Amino acid sequence: MNGTHWHITTEKQRKNLIAELLEQDIGEHGFLVKIETGKRTSVQNDSMHLYFRLLAETLCEAGLDIRRTLKQDFDIPWTEKSVKELIWLPVMTALTGKTSTTKLDRKEVGEIFDVINRHLAETHAVMCSFPNKFGD
């Protein structure tokens, strides 16, 4: 496929792209415009793992072990890894169809957090903020 690719990072670039699109002749077969957002950033990845750890601590402090939250068989405390595997990944897969956090884009990270945070607040009165920056 022939064509031009644009990497838009500023408002001016976005306006230039729009002007370019308006000048294009649609022609007999039209043309294809594809918009992709960037993958999640390394800061988002660090923040996700910090969130997993903070949520594990918050759930444990609230007296909500894995058994009380998800499974009825064992009294198991939350860990960063269990939050990722038992909460984050199932919600991520249900929302995005993706099976790896490395495939998430920036917007999806926030959407997954919102679903988890809302659910835990409604069902267990537990909330844990998503870190803005690793170490916050």
Q: Where are the domains of the chain?
A: 42-124
Burial of residue 83 (CB within 10 Å: 0-12, 13-18, 19+) is: buried
Instruction: Report pTM.
Output: 0.54
Write out pLDDT tens, residues 70-116. 656 667 788 999 999 999 999 999 999 999 999 998 899 999 999 99
- The 10 Å Cβ neighbour count of residue 92 is 24
What amino acid is encoded at 81 in this protein? K
Select the more confidently predicted residue: 69 or 78: 78
